[in-house]
Amino acid sequence: MDLIDINLLQVIVESSLHHFEYTQPDIHAITLIQANTGLRIGEVLQIDRWGEFDQDTMVVHCEKSDQVRLILKSDIPNILLISYLSQSPLFNRSYSSYNHQLKQVLPIVMVHDGCNRVLSHIYRYYFTRQLFISGFTDLQIQSLMAHENLVSTQRYLNMPLYLLN
């Protein structure tokens, strides 16, 4: 079992994005959105269409709380805005079909709770750690991740991830 540092996490995320870009564009779009915004998979899948942008932001309702998150249009690569702009619903996938596709490409990762699984949350871990490396404070990251308490954010920042051989 190997500990995943930020460099290996970046390689895992970028290689999966590259794979899906050429094999399954809708999965690529979903994972790219997660990696660039930190949205949970359920939050991405519930977006009706990009037309919901109001000027430069889009409101996304959080899965786990009554909060709303504002996503900057600049955080979404332009190619996705162009490719998926007219579709409604934006993505026609279920959570289970999305995770099934991830399992075909991503390595199995063991997270802090000891569970071995491939999980779409790997993109949230990546986003959180990128924010931290960029100089964001724990409180700023908590807000961007829509965590109700700082402890959840600190788990994302500090918990070890392991790659299972």
Total number of domains constituting the chain: 1
Residue 26 structural domain: 2-163
Instruction: Give the pLDDT of residue 48.
Output: 62
Instruction: Give the pLDDT of residue 135.
Output: 93
What is the full per-residue pLDDT of the chain (165 aa) written as tens digits? 566 777 888 888 888 888 888 888 778 888 888 888 888 888 887 776 554 555 667 777 777 777 777 777 667 766 565 555 555 556 667 778 887 888 777 766 655 555 555 577 888 888 898 999 999 999 999 988 888 889 988 888 887 777 665
* Global confidence as pTM: 0.78
26-56 burial, b if ≥16 CB within 10 A, otherwise e? Answer: bbbbbbbbbbbbbbbbebbbebeebeebeee
Tokens of 128: 């959180």
The DSSP secondary-structure symbol of 82 reads H
Instruction: Give the pLDDT of residue 108.
Output: 62
Q: What is the CATH number of the domain that holds 118?
A: 1.10.443.10
Instruction: Give the pLDDT of residue 165.
Output: 52
